[in-house]
Structure 1
């Protein structure tokens, strides 16, 4: 018997191994013995194989037997077609195999089969033919290893696409404010387990962004929060983060990941059930952000309360009333009157003092009390605007017979 090295066609190897028909027939006659030896070796040498469920063990054993049968068929017509190896050995089993064992285990299985065949072939066909067949086994096992790697690569891509779809469904459920039990179920499916310090960040998405870039965003954001989910809605990128350790640093750094345009983040919430509150605030803020061209990037939804209220956001109106108007109405020492006069008279301390017949220092004291009470400083132009909007909204709601 001789080894012929010649160029071939129809997908055969340019270094084809030629084995005579009698040798191939002897291998076919002993294929059952080879299969039994392989199964015994798998069970004795691979501890993870013994721990598999019976149906998984049976499926992998059947795959190993197919490998031996396919090797014998390959000897009759050697080929390097990866597609042929995939179909002949793995058939419809790739999904089962990738669920049952890792790629490392799959390669260990292939190595075990090769070792057994290399050892047994000389005993079955004689030492002279055995040397040639060992060479054939090595070449064929290389094709099987490449095929297995391809199977796992395809499975990883499929899982990645499926995980992305699940992730998008969770983000969509948050935006749509779905019932709590459904939200928890969807979040659990993608491994989102954060129970506190949860917030939603929304901004533009780079038109050229692909899955690899989104994965990089997720990796970067994960350095500042324990759980990260991403979803895209049209030209918007929605990031849901949980377990945020340092909020100020997190929002600042994450804001750099978004595409052109404003980036806003909703309030931090302490449970997954309240996450839609953060999302709705962020969405309303993003819609209203164009009314404040000088807004920082990123900007908190709470910093856009005036613009949100003017844009029809009822939640923002109620917050302004509760945070500004009601506390000032309940306060003593004329805080509401002083603030109103100060705002009406163009932010002039002296004019306010004359109008109220008090000293300018009294006006300063009362305005400091307004800041202590509401959190906004009337002496800062932007914060004075927030306070003025709060007074307007509070008065409208106070006189509305049917408040929303």
Structure 2
């Protein structure tokens, strides 16, 4: 083994001693089995039972296969020295062949069990990380746990939520992980009740477009994507927006799938989401108010007159081109086009909330 494998030569002495014990145990178990061929060979317990569980992490499955193959080759090369006559040599070779098969199955079983244990532990750890992020309890411990799950240093993170498929929670999360790898996105996922929550890292550009390949892992129904945040510890803000959007999405039956939580600001505001109300007031109403009373008045009249330029112009005693110019100013300031029904609805709710906020200040 030292001659053939550089990685074996570089192993710590403790691990090398464990590997040697496993090899010796394998040869001893073969000898005992060959003496009593009628007895079933308990390879897993007799051979691999001598090694600590941690050895499966220090030695990969591929390396274990190389070690087992080398051990068998060494024994096979010495058969002619051990056997007395051709008949006994043939018996020994046949016995070694049968025992090698048992060793191969036992090796696969040991690593499969180790993988299952690690998988179960990773699933519990991932559920803890997702729960902590949703509750806003992110700290260095959560960072460490996420790193243990393979989470890298991602700076663009968004949370998406929707209904979970009617399947085993572990299968749902595994499917989300596969979809994330295919889309080259880092994913931490968890099933909470009937909801599937995915924390997605590596979101580049428009978050809805970036995470669209993952939408198919959710059950039929709305899928909401929270705003992009810069760090994993800030994921609670994105999760809060996404969850509030999922609750309010029933008010917009024709919402796209997936839909950005920011596109649901008016529905969220009507559903008593204080964050959405604050955003509508601070990012839409106040900039318009600061731009001049004429803009607010023109927008208000235009919306009340069912988006009619001529009707608004008559009430305001201005030319329709003046109304058109002021509405373009509204679009420049807010990014919303009053002539579009969806934008008009958002602007109307922002105006109502802004006026209520102004009254509240006066009181």
Report the CA distance between 1:363 and its aligned residue.
1.2
Contact kept in structure 2, 1:118 and 1:137, CA below 8 Å: yes
Q: Could you report, residue by residue, the CA deviation over 1:296-330 in whole angstroms, capped at 9, with x for unpaired residues?
A: 11111001111111111111011000111101110
Report the CA distance between 1:197 and its aligned residue.
2.0
Aligned counterpart in structure 2 of residue 304 of structure 1, from 264, 267, 273: 264
The aligned counterpart of 1:166 is 125
From the superposition, tell whether residues 63 and 323 of structure 1 become closer, same or farther in structure 2 (CA, over 3 Å). same
Report the CA distance between 1:67 and its aligned residue.
1.0
Which has the larger displacement, 70-79 or 234-243?
70-79
From the superposition, tell whether residues 46 and 193 of structure 1 become closer, same or farther in structure 2 (CA, over 3 Å). closer
Q: Could you report, residue by residue, the CA deviation over 1:61-89 in whole angstroms, capped at 9, with x for unpaired residues?
A: 1111111111121123225857x211111
Contact kept in structure 2, 1:194 and 1:227, CA below 8 Å: no
Aligned counterpart in structure 1 of residue 77 of structure 2, from 119, 122, 127: 119
Please, which runs of 5 or more residues in structure 1 have no aligned partner? 1-41
The aligned counterpart of 1:95 is 53
Q: Could you report, residue by residue, the CA deviation over 1:136-167 in whole angstroms, capped at 9, with x for unpaired residues?
A: 12211221111111111222222222222222
From the superposition, tell whether residues 308 and 145 of structure 1 become closer, same or farther in structure 2 (CA, over 3 Å). same
CA RMSD of aligned residues (A): 2.3
Secondary structure at the residue paired with 1:95?
coil
> Is 1:157 matched up with 2:116?
yes
Within a 5 Å distance, the mapping from 1:23-42 to structure 2 comes to 42=1
From the superposition, tell whether residues 113 and 182 of structure 1 become closer, same or farther in structure 2 (CA, over 3 Å). closer
Contact kept in structure 1, 2:225 and 2:242, CA below 8 Å: yes
Aligned counterpart in structure 2 of residue 106 of structure 1, from 49, 64, 74: 64
Report the CA distance between 1:135 and its aligned residue.
2.1
From the superposition, tell whether residues 56 and 368 of structure 1 become closer, same or farther in structure 2 (CA, over 3 Å). same
Secondary structure at the residue paired with 2:253?
coil
Whole-angstrom distance in 1 between the partners of 2:261 and 2:54: 47
Whole-angstrom distance in 1 between the partners of 2:27 and 2:84: 18
- Larger CA Rg, structure 1 vs 2: 1
Aligned counterpart in structure 2 of residue 340 of structure 1, from 291, 295, 300: 300
Within a 5 Å distance, the mapping from 1:66-215 to structure 2 comes to 66-78=25-37, 81=40, 84-91=42-49, 93=51, 95-128=53-86, 129-208=88-167, 211-212=170-171, 214-215=173-174
> Is 1:366 matched up with 2:326?
yes
The aligned counterpart of 2:343 is 383
From the superposition, tell whether residues 92 and 368 of structure 1 become closer, same or farther in structure 2 (CA, over 3 Å). farther
From the superposition, tell whether residues 79 and 147 of structure 1 become closer, same or farther in structure 2 (CA, over 3 Å). farther
Within a 5 Å distance, the mapping from 1:193-342 to structure 2 comes to 193-208=152-167, 211-212=170-171, 214-247=173-206, 248-332=208-292, 334-342=294-302
Report the CA distance between 1:184 and its aligned residue.
2.0
Please, which runs of 5 or more residues in structure 2 have no aligned partner? none
Contact kept in structure 1, 2:185 and 2:202, CA below 8 Å: yes
From the superposition, tell whether residues 245 and 361 of structure 1 become closer, same or farther in structure 2 (CA, over 3 Å). same
From the superposition, tell whether residues 72 and 305 of structure 1 become closer, same or farther in structure 2 (CA, over 3 Å). same
Q: Could you report, residue by residue, the CA deviation over 1:95-122 in whole angstroms, capped at 9, with x for unpaired residues?
A: 2331121222212212222222223343
- When the two structures are superposed, what TM-score results if normalisation uses the length of structure 1? 0.83
Contact kept in structure 1, 2:227 and 2:262, CA below 8 Å: yes
Q: How many residues align?
A: 361
Contact kept in structure 2, 1:225 and 1:244, CA below 8 Å: no
Report the CA distance between 1:94 and its aligned residue.
6.2
Whole-angstrom distance in 2 between the partners of 1:209 and 1:298: 23
Secondary structure at the residue paired with 2:78?
helix
Whole-angstrom distance in 2 between the partners of 1:53 and 1:208: 44
